[in-house]
A and B are shown apart, each in its own frame.
Chain A
Amino acid sequence: MLKRIWAIFTRDVKVSMRTFISLYILVVPLILAFAINLFTPGINDTTINLALLEADNPEQIAYFKSFAKVELFKDVESVQKRVEARDNIVGILPEGDKHYIMIQGNEPEGVIDYAKLINSLNELDIQVEDTNAEIIEFGKTVPPLKRTLVNGVLLLISILGGMLIAFNIVEEKADRTIRSINVTPTTRNTFILGKSLLGLVLPIFGTIATVFICGFGDVNLLQILLIVSAASLLSLLVGFIQGLSSDDIISAVSIIKLLFLPLFASVLAIELLSAKWQKFFYWSPFYWAYKGNNAVLSQTSTWQQILSYTGIVIVLCGIVYLIAAPRIRKGLE
């Protein structure tokens, strides 16, 4: 049985690599992970970017570096050119004994105030050691928006697995090969498992890649894989149903895209709605998966919590399976 499951899986991988749209889906997790990394620092960092002159006092440059990201330029024109770029960067330039602040004009007020504050502290020669404040840390080291994006991408990847399944089933239908599989010792269950494997492997591969690329490598990987695998079950089922009932890839994709609706609804409910509205989203497996992923990514999860969320996701997917199974079996005849 395992030999056949593996044969079906490797065939699907081979064919997916030869189909542009499938190949694209295979690399989408990597693209998304890099995109998050590229854009989230600008959104989430509480620190600011400063443009200074290379010729400035080294002690002063070192001081600014301990509070902000510093970029050095050889002359004032270069600083000005950099400040005029699209992102938020503030120039601090010497003028006599003091410094003046150069801005583009559209920077957030907080960024300008922060630059002013650092400059004043520097001029007053106030060091970090001079503070009397006591720090109480909650241990949250991850920017919340980045966590939300990574979590959303992980669930998105689980849907992509379903799309790949649908594509491969559509291909089997177009080539009329399901009949030829049915006259080999391959049972229907073996065929379904073999076809499902790609829909599970892609989310697992995508999750590991995203988690590591986005700098979440220290989270409990087993917990997050458990949640993502459970969430993928729903996409697998939808992938099978759509593959069997669609005649071409485009119509299969268009229906699977509907899965984005409960996904986005679940994310928005958790992030934006108050506690009294939450119960209206309990039916969505993505709701529980998102909650579970959130806990793992913020490193506050417990096994009990993860197992209960996974259990709920599996039960919800089981209900979908009970409804969908007769259609899947009939479609494979």
Chain B
Amino acid sequence: MITVQNLYHSYNKDDRYAVKNVSFEVQKGEIFGFLGPSGAGKSTTQGILTGLLQLQQGEVSVAGYDVKRSSPEMFNKIGMSFEQSNVYSKLTAKENLQFYRKLFDVETREPKELLKLVGLEGKGDIQAGEFSKGMKHRLTFARSMLNNPELWFLDEPTTGLDPAIAAEIKDIIKRDNKKGVTVFLTTHNMFIAEELCDRVAFIIDGEIKLIDSPRNLKLQYGEKLVEVEYIENGKSVREKFSTVLDKDKKRLQDIIGNYEIQTMHTKEATLEEIFIKVTGRGLV
């Protein structure tokens, strides 16, 4: 669905590249996470993929279209939800969606249905300027679904949303992905990436450091240990056991069988820890 080869981009058109030698592929039906801290090159890459930035160097194909020969038809197949909400404040929520649906050449979804989907039911006749930040964000998200996109670009889709709404948004993403929609997710939120993404790419200083599935990364970078906290002779005891060594496995079985277990955790690494391990940098 997306092919990027040797992508370079410089805002000053010199050798200070915001993105350098970036290559990756996103398969149809995949949720691909593009992870990195601010200024890493996420938005630049996404901007080039969505035609918002001009392709300077490299080969980029999106939804079967060569981005170099920009074709308006490409936009009938893609949807884009921006990190910063951008809706017409003087139009109502319904008018916003009705306006944008007129700009597409393909069948579009009913504004009322979309507003209900993102929890804005009954707010359709209110001007977007009166909406809270979260409501505007949801309206921006709803707009990105108008044209039933085959490829969906999501930039921080749950930022600024309360946990309940964020969970609903994640459900919508999962549901549409099950229907075959490919998702390109840009975020620095490792939890949403871990929960949603089939594969993730770590980008820092304009370069991709690693691409793999969250599961593989955890297997590769996580420690194969279990930490157990149990009660022995009235005292709380904490111990770590290897999940690979036979001696530790037997001891763990013995503790589970004979003592009262208080807590037990596998010591698998979080995506954030893996990111720091791989790039040597945090995600903020």
**What CA separation (Å) do A171 and B76 show in the bound complex?**
25
B42-83 residues with Cβ-Cβ distance < 8 A to A are 50-54, 72-76, 78, 80, 82
The CB with the most chain A CB atoms within 10 A, among B51, B52, B78, is that of B52
A300-333 residues with Cβ-Cβ distance < 8 A to B are 333
**What CA separation (Å) do A174 and B128 show in the bound complex?**
13
Main secondary structure of the interface of B (DSSP, over half): loop
The segment from B97-105, B165-173, B207-215, B250-258 found at the interface with A is: B97-105
Interface membership of B143, Cβ < 8 A: yes
**In the complex, chain B residues whose CB is within 8 Å of the CB of A186:** 72, 103
B residues contacting the other copy or chain, number (CB 8 A): 29
Interface membership of B91, Cβ < 8 A: yes
A191 to chain B, nearest CB (A): 10
Q: Give the contacting residue for A183; candidates B54, B80, B89; CB below 8 A.
A: B80
Is the pair A177, B51 in contact by a Cβ cutoff of 8 Å?
no
If A4-B103, A180-B80, A184-B100 touch, does A175 touch B86 (CB 8 Å cutoff)?
A: yes
Q: B-facing mask of A10-29, CB < 8 A → 1, else 0? A: 01001100110000000000
A169 to chain B, nearest CB (A): 13
**What CA separation (Å) do A185 and B205 show in the bound complex?**
32
Is the pair B52, A182 in contact by a Cβ cutoff of 8 Å?
yes
Q: Give the contacting residue for A185; candidates B54, B72, B91, B140; CB below 8 A.
A: B72
Q: Give the contacting residue for A11; candidates B51, B73, B88, B104; CB below 8 A.
A: B88
Interface membership of B84, Cβ < 8 A: yes
Q: Give the contacting residue for B104; candidates A15, A177, A185, A187; CB below 8 A.
A: A185
Q: Which residue of A lies closest to B129 (CB)?
A: A175
Interface membership of A55, Cβ < 8 A: no
Interface membership of B283, Cβ < 8 A: no
A residues contacting the other copy or chain, number (CB 8 A): 23
Q: Give the contacting residue for A184; candidates B54, B90, B91, B104; CB below 8 A.
A: B104
B21-52 residues with Cβ-Cβ distance < 8 A to A are 50-52
**In the complex, chain B residues whose CB is within 8 Å of the CB of A177:** 86-88
**What CA separation (Å) do A171 and B143 show in the bound complex?**
19
**In the complex, chain A residues whose CB is within 8 Å of the CB of B80:** 180, 183
Q: Give the contacting residue for B102; candidates A4, A14, A15, A187; CB below 8 A.
A: A4
Interface membership of A179, Cβ < 8 A: yes
B230 to chain A, nearest CB (A): 56
Is the pair B99, A185 in contact by a Cβ cutoff of 8 Å?
no
Is the pair B72, A179 in contact by a Cβ cutoff of 8 Å?
no
Interface membership of B272, Cβ < 8 A: no
B5 to chain A, nearest CB (A): 23
A211-256 residues with Cβ-Cβ distance < 8 A to B are none
Q: Give the contacting residue for B72; candidates A18, A180, A187; CB below 8 A.
A: A187
**What CA separation (Å) do A183 and B154 show in the bound complex?**
13
Interface membership of A86, Cβ < 8 A: no
Interface membership of A31, Cβ < 8 A: no
Interface membership of A140, Cβ < 8 A: no
B93-111 residues with Cβ-Cβ distance < 8 A to A are 95, 99-100, 102-105
8 cross-chain pairs, A with B, having the tightest CB-CB distances, nearest first: A176-B86, A7-B102, A185-B72, A184-B103, A183-B80, A185-B75, A15-B90, A180-B86
Known pairs A3-B102, A11-B99, A179-B82; list 11 more (Cβ under 8 Å): A7-B103, A175-B89, A180-B86, A180-B87, A182-B51, A183-B51, A183-B52, A183-B75, A183-B78, A184-B75, A185-B105
* A-B contact list, 18 entries, CB within 8 Å: A4-B103, A11-B88, A11-B91, A11-B99, A14-B91, A15-B88, A19-B90, A171-B88, A171-B90, A175-B89, A176-B84, A180-B82, A180-B86, A183-B50, A183-B51, A185-B74, A185-B76, A333-B52
Binding site for B on A (CB under 8 A): 3-4, 7, 11, 14-15, 18-19, 171, 174-177, 179-187, 333
